[in-house]
Amino acid sequence: MCRRRLARHHLLERTDDIVRAVRDIGGVQAQLPSAAEWSIGARVDGITAEDVRAELYERKRLLKMYTLRGTLHLVPSDEAAMWAAATRPVDDSDELVDAIDRALRGQCLTRTQLAEAVGDERLLSQWGDFVSPAATRGVLCFGKPQGSKVTFVHRDDWGVPWKRHARATAQREAARRYLYAYGPAAPKDFARWMHIEPAEATAAFDGLADDNDEGEVPPAGPTAVRLLPQYDAYILGAFPRDKVVPAEAKPRISTYGKGRWEGPAALPLVVVDGVVAGMWARKGLKVTVEPFVDIDQTLLEAEVERLGAFLNRQASLTVGRLP
């Protein structure tokens, strides 16, 4: 199963298409921009972080928006409406969304500017609880950052296509995407990944039995060593996680950094043939890998070299315990 998932995540053989990589895994979690960029870089050959940003802010084939679990994700722009319909809260505030709609037309506003324009300090919240309904209703998009500040633009001004989808229809399509990238799986796994009601997940799975099988397993090949960032989709969508996070890895993960509270998905992990085999951290261009099992040094060095190329720099590798 791990080898099949690796292949469908473009972690076995990488693709050369940024948008396809994002599309095939159902979006890339993006509350940490650098982690989101490397989630794509780990799957796509011959690109840099600047190429990812160009897809977001120049070509606009990718869009940053609130979707799964109410969290920021990068999704293909031509699928934004589908993901919004599948995840939109049922209690959107029409009044606030309408005010944001009026404020953003023809404007590119920082969070502070938007809150001032609307006259609602709740929009200053970094959690996005009051911004996300405008995104899932097809009003608000993230624009190009101004330094460290996020900006917001109107979806019409950003040129994002928007076709209305019924919630159940959108969830059925989302379930098909989930099974392609993470299956075989149960409705409860999909409900957890999407953060929707179990009954909705069960309904979305109805009629998808043919999508929910092992599928064709790629033939055995060279060992695949991959450096995955925090909140990478391969870990986030893996249920049960025991199949990709072995028991021997859990004690160390549970004592390090955000792993104490959020588990393995919150840490940059080394994955060997689809199974977690270590952790890693980057300080500047110095990468430290803490292996849990023996990992081929040459393959690790190759991955670090790829990471450096993605950053347009030369990175170095140290193997040892993380501080």
Q: Are 122 and 132 in contact (CB under 8 A)?
A: no
Walk along the chain (323 residues) and give the pLDDT tens digit of each residue: 688 899 999 999 999 999 999 999 999 999 999 999 999 999 999 999 999 999 999 999 999 999 999 899 999 999 999 999 999 866 556 899 999 999 999 999 999 999 999 999 999 988 888 899 999 999 999 999 999 999 999 999 999 999 999 999 999 999 999 999 999 999 999 999 999 999 999 999 998 988 887 666 667 778 999 999 999 999 999 988 988 999 999 999 999 999 999 999 999 999 999 999 999 999 999 999 999 999 999 999 999 999 999 999 999 999 999 99
Eight-state DSSP code of residue 150 = -
Predicted pLDDT of residue 217: 66
Domains defined along the chain, listed by start: 54-158 (1.10.10), 225-319 (no CATH)
Question: What is the pTM for the complete model shown?
Answer: 0.94
Cα(54)–Cα(59) distance, integer angstroms: 6
Nearest to 55 by CA among 71, 32, 78: 78
Cβ atoms within 10 Å of 312's Cβ, excluding its own: 9
Residues near 6 by beta carbon (within 8 Å), at least 6 away in sequence? 12, 218, 224, 234, 273, 274
Burial-class residue 309 by CB neighbours within 10 Å (0-12, 13-18, 19+).
middle
Predicted pLDDT of residue 3: 87
